[in-house]
Amino acid sequence: MACHQAPLHLIVTIEDGLVDEDMSLGTAVIVEVAEHRRNTEGWPALMVGALVIAPDMPEGVPAVWATGAGGGQILAVDGAAREHSTWEPAAKGGSRTQSDKTTFAGYPEAEEARRCLPDYA
């Protein structure tokens, strides 16, 4: 597993879903999800780790999203991504989306995306 700089178009797309217009993404990385963990449509292909920056959190808060190789659907994987963005379809307990979030959060690629961010503890 290796982290790479997230492409600008992906950063801009995720920023469009942040809950406050004063928020932006700082450092942003992608980690490719191993093929054996993807569904039959190849999703998710990437974990995106980024620091969410806002006036009241200038150091940034690490957050992780899942997405396809060419963009498209974006799903907030961890609590920080869910709190600071709208990239989460309505999910009820026991739904496939809820199950996916729980599964994706445990992927080693999600943890690697967090580890590649500055000052991650």
Return per-residue pLDDT of the chain as tens, 121 residues.
799 999 999 999 999 999 999 999 999 999 999 999 998 888 889 999 999 999 999 899 999 999 988 767 899 999 999 999 998 754 445 445 555 556 788 899 999 999 999 865 4
97, β-bridge pairs: none
Measured CA distances, 56 to 16, 27, 52, 97, 110 (Å)? 19, 17, 11, 31, 25
